[in-house]
Amino acid sequence: MSDISRRHFIKTTGTAGVALWLGISAKGSTRKVTDVATAKNFNPLILVESNGNITIYNTKPEMGQGTFQSMPAMIAEEFEVSLDQITIKNTNGEKEFGDRQRAGGSSSIRTTYNDMRKIGAAAKAVFISAAAKHWQVDESTCYAENSKVIHKPSNKSLTYGELVEEASKIELPKEPKLKDPKDFKILGKVSKRPDIPLKTSGKAVFGIDVILPDMLYASVERCPVLGGTLKSFDASEALKMPGVEMVVETERIVGKYHFTGVAVVANSYWNALEGRKKLKIQWDTAGHETFNSNEYENNLRKLASQEGVIDKNTGAIDTVKTSPQNTVEAFYETPMIAHHTMEPMNCIAHVQGDKAEVWTSTQVPSSIVGGGSNDVPKLAGFAPENVKLHSMFIGGGFGRRLYPDYVIEALNVAKQVSKPVKVIWSREDTTTQGPFRPMTFSQLSGTFSDDGKLVAFKHKVISPSYQESVRKDFDKTKVDGTMVEGIGEQDYEIPNIKTSYVRADYHVPVAAWRSVTSSTLAFAHECFIDELAVKAGKDPLDFRMELLSQPSDTKRIFQKLRELSGWDEPLPKNKGRGVAQWKFFAGQCAQAVEVSYDPALKTVKIDKVTAVIDLGEVVNPDNVKNQTEGAVVMALTAAIKPGITFKDGKVVESNFYDNPVLRMNEMPVVNVHVLAEGGKIKGVGEPGLPPFAPALANAIFAATGKRIRKMPFDLKIS
Amino acid sequence: MITVTVNGQRHDIDADPNMPLLWAIRDILGLTGTKYGCGAAQCGACTVHLNGESIRSCCTKLSRAAGQQIITIEGLSANNNHPLQLAWNEMNVPQCGYCQSGQLMSAAVLLRENPNPTDQDIDDAMSGNICRCGTYQRIRAAIHRAADLAREGAKS
């Protein structure tokens, strides 16, 4: 093992006197060093300085999901420091903080919960040992609280700061004792997020808010026909506009796609925008100018007749006897949609010689300093050690900021400009240029045995491929696992199940969007389960429970949902309830939606949403509720608001007036219940989305008898 | 040169009078609490007060602010202690937080005009402000809480 602690002190720049770093190796071993700069295979997470300052580092960018509090909270709990005693610092992709500085896949807590607690516990153990040694007492007579070690019999105490020097001489325990959860002071309690006061006073600095001396601004004209390339441009009129300093070509790279653009660089963003209007550009649209969404969707419907590639085939589905009497078939459709982060894409880049400095809001700091599938230094032509990142608060990620195309584009502009340059995408740029969540179409069938049991279930997905969009070397003969995400993970006990995938060619870059493909597949899958319940003549929740004879998370979650949603209370005429759940990589949530139908107005109103999210362990319950409330809002927007469409190769929608999102007056009442009963640790950010649209559509069926098989759908019932 | 008073401080701004007030506030005065969201008066992220009324600064020309009083989020209270800010903090309203300056500025006018708003009043006043994270339920609750705090403050 390489866990050798350093016993010498080196004063680290910027720290006060003696400083001790405590952290963890990539393999999960706890470690401590006093010179972080020369430590190998070491991710420092705690810095204790002899003046008493304690800093905890957050490696997961804050985009509203709460990592700025939840990541330090896991360490602080075990380290026995309160959150108001520490300084929290976001990391900036620095190599010493490891290559997992990214936020996505609802993974921040579920993948670090044990490691973070372990480093906190090991750190506490070292300070207790140091104090015991100092006082020459038995360690068992000492305990830690509020960043101090206290000798119980005498009540004397020493602060962690006072103990730094002694503590640095003591080995960290490899397997420190973790607290009994019943003694938790922070985890599982409602605790304040320290970023909130910054966000209510206008002081939080998002990427777009950074202002540097001598900074210039840029706005980029990109080919309105996605896939087109730059032929030539005439900047003479643009250059005559006030404040315009330069017009330069640039390139962004998103997945396998390279897109060119023309950047107008000016002394203010407004002048850059005004200058951009005067550009004369010739684009080569490369045949994409005939692309229309309607035709593409027709193509997807035609492709449904193909066998496709099998993802999963359990049992012997081809031997199950089917007849029109015992089989239900249905076809579901979903749209392409945009992320619509409130903070539009933007990035400041400053290139000096072969060195680059970047200020931006990103979900992937580690990619921006090099490594992984979106290796920015490599794609933009820099040595990784020459790229320095400043990772700022993120004004909405939702998956869009996993793709650093806007950073590459800004670097390519900045290479041609001597000063720092802030490239800001307009809302229209952000809406029309992608990448987008792809649409998925689903062909489903379910077959019952003579005695009424569901014996066969087929789900075929027809869609463009995510992996093909992001990777040049994607093998088209294989299933794109991303596009059948979650289908094979459901707990329903059905003896014969077949999942297959038909890939459709596409030239539009696609992206992960909050809850990825589960955001569309759950709609098809869980609405279809409802159709099967109707065929079986059973209550939709009873029908599901009958498919869950064995103990499972799904069964447990449904039992709680049944109780909390008042599922068994009778409803008057024109009211209906729908239920759905979804289990996938990020976690699991089940929801019940209650709606009222007004036959005179022919409209449906959402009366109540009850959500049960299953986590195993919970860090900040109130924040989980906030996340799940927000997930419902985002899912409702995706269910009832228009998606992104193409006409003549161009995205038709451009801003919130023609691509609206949910507003305050459309907000339903959402009640969230957090299940933290131990077991597998699951994610928070995404699981609230997938079950909502099917639960709503199922509720609409219950209230009106109208089966909805296509998103987006209208709450006005025709 | 256009003279504008922002948060009580006079500024002489040398810029195109057609420049939206938003960019003058952010890029020239450096007050970045006011956000750019859509540039089309659709999302409310850029909401500021002009002589006490909510305006969308992304679609308001700088020239319209000449000689006027502008208040931005930085000037809403002295110490992040407007009843709305206190309620927002107490109820953990923000997620990403990007839209919240605009939400607070819109809510401040609502609360001044209507110290005891109903849910319907809140919907009517706040539906011009988009929150993509979906904090609407908390915003609604926090406005009610702020109304309570303001009444308690008035009594004490």
Domains of chain B by start residue, with CATH: 2-75 (3.10.20.30), 83-155 (1.10.150.120)
Q: Are B73 and B101 in contact (CB under 8 A)?
A: yes
CA distance B100 to chain A (A): 6
| Minimum Cα–Cα distance from B136: chain A residue | A664
- How distant, in Å, are the alpha carbons of A63, A538, A670 from that of A566? 34, 18, 14
CA–CA gap between residue A332 and residue A521 (Å, rounded): 9
pLDDT at A296: 98
Question: Does residue B19 belong to the interface with chain A, where contact is any CB pair within 8 Å?
Answer: yes
Contacts of B126 in chain A (CB under 8 A): 664
CA–CA gap between residue A5 and residue A8 (Å, rounded): 9
CA–CA gap between residue A549 and residue A358 (Å, rounded): 54
A582 SS3 class: strand
Q: Which of A297, A314, A319, A331 is nearest to A445 (CA)?
A: A331
Beta strands A421-424 and A216-222, pairing class:
parallel
CA–CA gap between residue A109 and residue B94 (Å, rounded): 20
A231 SS3 class: strand
Q: Which of A289, A339, A340, A229 is nearest to A647 (CA)?
A: A289
Contact A396 B98 (CB under 8 A): yes
Q: Taken in order A622, A624, A630, A632, is the CA torsion positive or negative?
A: negative
CA–CA gap between residue A254 and residue A277 (Å, rounded): 25
Contact A268 B96 (CB under 8 A): no
Q: Taken in order A411, A415, A417, A419, is the CA torsion positive or negative?
A: positive
Q: Which of A675, A690, A699, A568 is nearest to A625 (CA)?
A: A675
Q: Which fold has domain A294-337+437-704?
A: Aldehyde Oxidoreductase; domain 4 (3.30.365)
pLDDT at A686: 98
pLDDT at B73: 98
pLDDT at A28: 62
Q: To the nearest 10°, the Cα dihedral for B119, B120, B125, B127? A: 90
- How distant, in Å, are the alpha carbons of A3, A7, A16, A51 from that of A10? 19, 10, 11, 16
Block means of pLDDT (10 residues each) for chain A, 718 residues, are: 27 57 71 63 83 94 97 96 94 89 96 92 94 97 98 97 90 89 94 95 98 97 97 98 98 97 97 98 97 98 98 95 94 98 98 98 96 91 97 98 98 98 98 98 97 97 97 94 97 98 98 98 98 98 98 98 98 98 98 98 98 97 98 98 98 98 98 96 98 98 98 95
Beta strands A496-503 and A454-463, pairing class:
parallel
What are the domain boundaries of chain A? 19-200, 207-287+345-424, 294-337+437-704
How many residue pairs from chains A and B have C-beta atoms closer than 8 A? 179
Contacts of A65 in chain B (CB under 8 A): 95
How buried is residue A311: exposed, middle or buried, by Cβ count under 10 Å (0-12/13-18/19+)?
buried
DSSP string spanning chain B?
-EEEEETTEEEEE-S-TTSBHHHIIIIIS--TTS--S-SSSSS-TTEEEETTEEEEGGGSBGGGGTT-EEE-GGGS-SSS-SHHHHHHHHTT--SS-TTHHHHHHHHHHHHHH-SS--HHHHHHHHTTS--TT--HHHHHHHHHHHHHHHHHHHH-
- In degrees and rounded to multiples of 5, residue A411 shows phi and psi of -60, -40
Contact B134 A633 (CB under 8 A): yes
Q: Taken in order B78, B84, B85, B90, is the CA torsion positive or negative?
A: positive
Q: How far is CA A337 from the centre of its chain?
A: 16
Q: Are A60 and A126 in contact (CB under 8 A)?
A: no
CA–CA gap between residue A512 and residue A288 (Å, rounded): 23
CA–CA gap between residue A261 and residue A233 (Å, rounded): 10
What is the average pLDDT across B110-135?
98
Contact B80 A664 (CB under 8 A): no
Residues 391 through 410 of chain A touching chain B, CB cutoff 8 Å:
393-398
CA–CA gap between residue A444 and residue A190 (Å, rounded): 43
> What are the contacts of A133-139 at 24+ separation with CB within 8 A?
A133/A166, A133/A170, A134/A158, A134/A163, A134/A166
Q: Which of B18, B102, B25, B58 is nearest to A427 (CA)?
A: B58
Contacts of A193 in chain B (CB under 8 A): 92
CA–CA gap between residue B51 and residue B53 (Å, rounded): 6
Q: Which of A481, A516, A563, A548 is nearest to A690 (CA)?
A: A516
What is the phi-psi region of residue B76: left when phi exceeds 0, alpha when psi lies from -120 to 50, beta otherwise? Answer: alpha
Q: Where are the alpha helices (DSSP H) in A304-426?
A: 365-368, 376-380, 405-414
pLDDT at B56 over 90: yes
Question: Does residue B96 belong to the interface with chain A, where contact is any CB pair within 8 Å?
Answer: yes
CA–CA gap between residue A697 and residue A595 (Å, rounded): 10
Amino acid at A8: H
Question: Any residues with CB less than 8 A from the CB of A8 and at least 6 apart, and which?
Answer: A34, A35
Q: Which of A477, A524, A109, A209 is nearest to B34 (CA)?
A: A209
Contacts of A632 in chain B (CB under 8 A): 134
Among B26, B59, B98, the residue to mutate for chain A (most A Cβ within 10 A): B98
Q: Which of A578, A482, A621, A497 is nearest to A189 (CA)?
A: A621
What does CATH list as the number for A19-200? 3.30.365.10
CA–CA gap between residue A113 and residue A617 (Å, rounded): 9
| Minimum Cα–Cα distance from B90: chain A residue | A192
Structural element, H or E, at residue A298: helix A293-303
Contacts of A669 in chain B (CB under 8 A): 137
- How distant, in Å, are the alpha carbons of A37, A395, B24, B30 from that of A268? 39, 22, 9, 12
Residues 588 through 627 of chain A touching chain B, CB cutoff 8 Å:
622-623, 626-627
Contacts of A341 in chain B (CB under 8 A): 96, 98, 132
Question: Any residues with CB less than 8 A from the CB of A180 and at least 6 apart, and which?
Answer: none
How buried is residue A555: exposed, middle or buried, by Cβ count under 10 Å (0-12/13-18/19+)?
middle
| Minimum Cα–Cα distance from A392: chain B residue | B96
Q: Which of A587, A566, A586 is nearest to A577 (CA)?
A: A566
pLDDT at A1: 23
Contacts of A208 in chain B (CB under 8 A): 32, 35-36
Structural element, H or E, at residue A120: helix A113-135
Question: Does residue B59 belong to the interface with chain A, where contact is any CB pair within 8 Å?
Answer: no
Contacts of A270 in chain B (CB under 8 A): 15-16, 19-20, 23, 27
CA–CA gap between residue A693 and residue A674 (Å, rounded): 20
What is the phi-psi region of residue A462: left when phi exceeds 0, alpha when psi lies from -120 to 50, beta otherwise? Answer: beta
What is the average pLDDT across B27-32?
96
Q: Are A187 and A78 in contact (CB under 8 A)?
A: no
Question: Does residue A317 belong to the interface with chain B, where contact is any CB pair within 8 Å?
Answer: no
Neighbours of A329 (CB within 10 A): 14
| Minimum Cα–Cα distance from A659: chain B residue | B42
Which residues is A613 bridged to in the sheet? A589, A674
Q: Which fold has domain A207-287+345-424?
A: Aldehyde Oxidoreductase; domain 4 (3.30.365)
How buried is residue A577: exposed, middle or buried, by Cβ count under 10 Å (0-12/13-18/19+)?
buried
Contacts of B133 in chain A (CB under 8 A): 64, 342, 396, 630, 633
Contact B95 A627 (CB under 8 A): yes
Question: Does residue A655 belong to the interface with chain B, where contact is any CB pair within 8 Å?
Answer: yes
Question: Does residue A632 belong to the interface with chain B, where contact is any CB pair within 8 Å?
Answer: yes
By Cβ distance, the residue of A64, A65, A664 closest to B136 is: A664
Q: What is the CA radius of gyration of chain B?
A: 15
Q: Are A5 and A171 in contact (CB under 8 A)?
A: yes
Question: Does residue A429 belong to the interface with chain B, where contact is any CB pair within 8 Å?
Answer: no
Residue A530 has what DSSP assignment? H
- In degrees and rounded to multiples of 5, residue B119 shows phi and psi of -55, -40
Question: Does residue A194 belong to the interface with chain B, where contact is any CB pair within 8 Å?
Answer: no
Residue A80 has what DSSP assignment? T
Question: Does residue B129 belong to the interface with chain A, where contact is any CB pair within 8 Å?
Answer: yes
Neighbours of A25 (CB within 10 A): 18
CA–CA gap between residue A517 and residue A638 (Å, rounded): 13
Q: Are A499 and A517 in contact (CB under 8 A)?
A: no
Which residues is A393 bridged to in the sheet? A206
A207-287+345-424 and A294-337+437-704 in the same fold: yes
